Structure 1
């Protein structure tokens, strides 16, 4: 499994438990150990089953979970104000040449058809790099040819992220309309 190289010191793991891990650990009867390798969506499904949630409770908890995803995504990827955050994301998802402004980065990223959860997992597994030039493309982020292909994949894998939970502007920049 390849990992992205993201920031600061070469080779140092970036993983530290975040908002998603805190959400899972808030369910005291749920056995969970924070890990950069575990799928947060699979873990949520496992949590719902272990707690015996009905559909109503599952939807309420999914809203809390997606709020935690937004918080962690913003903490790991950035809030969307710094050029370095946008360039790092552009580099991780494989955009070349690297755009020179926030606006150019935002436009280039918006054109990409990638699943938000793939980006989040890349950042959870990342290793640090001091310079933007040392950031590597994450091979685990699947790039889809078009929105229809992304939609089909997202539906088949239940990897939806609802717009109303996206507060961070970088996360909003990745969202696509599926209707």
Structure 2
């Protein structure tokens, strides 16, 4: 899996806005929201934030859920610090199903080339996610095989 992909073409819809792929996701989206005049919490803001997160997911992790390459799944297991990297895609998925990681942080870490935070418990992930409001839209997550594996109930 490559980690040096450009930012999504999501921004192509907004002439005059110059994206900065070095910024964290939330800062980048806040810049865009201010540029477009979207108010925090508004329907448009939430909808566009979901589109933005999905587009960034597609850039940094997209295609993996349909990948038939064991190497891709093993690389994700390694990135998420899974013990004893499995030797089959099915076993990789089973191991990843037990990893507690914030999906927004995972995308952001790929975007910024940093190490993602892994939570020891579901409760710790929930507490962090609620406190930071880093919530990947559930409907978009359920539509993707990889995201379904990493999706955890937050509310």
Q: TM-score band (shorter)? A: 0.7 to 0.9
Aligned to 1:32: 19
Aligned pair 1:153/2:142, yes or no?
no
| C-alpha displacement of 1:106 | 0.8
Specify every segment of 5 or more residues in structure 2 that has no aligned partner in the other structure, as ranges: none
| Count of residues paired in the alignment | 151
Per-residue deviation, residues 101-130 of structure 1 (Å, max 9, x unmatched) = 11111111111111112322333345xxxx
Structure with a larger share of its residues in helix: 2
Task: Identify the match of residue 171 of structure 1 among 141, 147, 155.
Answer: 147
* TM-score (ref. length: structure 2): 0.83
Specify every segment of 5 or more residues in structure 1 that has no aligned partner in the other structure, as ranges: 1-5, 8-13, 127-137
Task: Tell which has more relative contact order, 1 or 2 (C-alpha 8 A, sep 6+).
Answer: 1
Aligned to 1:84: 71
Could you say what secondary structure the match of 1:79 adopts?
A: helix
**Over 6 Å off, 4+ runs:** none
The separation in 1 between residues aligned to 2:58 and 2:109, in whole angstroms, is 16
Could you say what secondary structure the match of 2:120 adopts?
A: coil
* TM-score (ref. length: structure 1): 0.73
RMSD of the alignment, in Å?
2.2
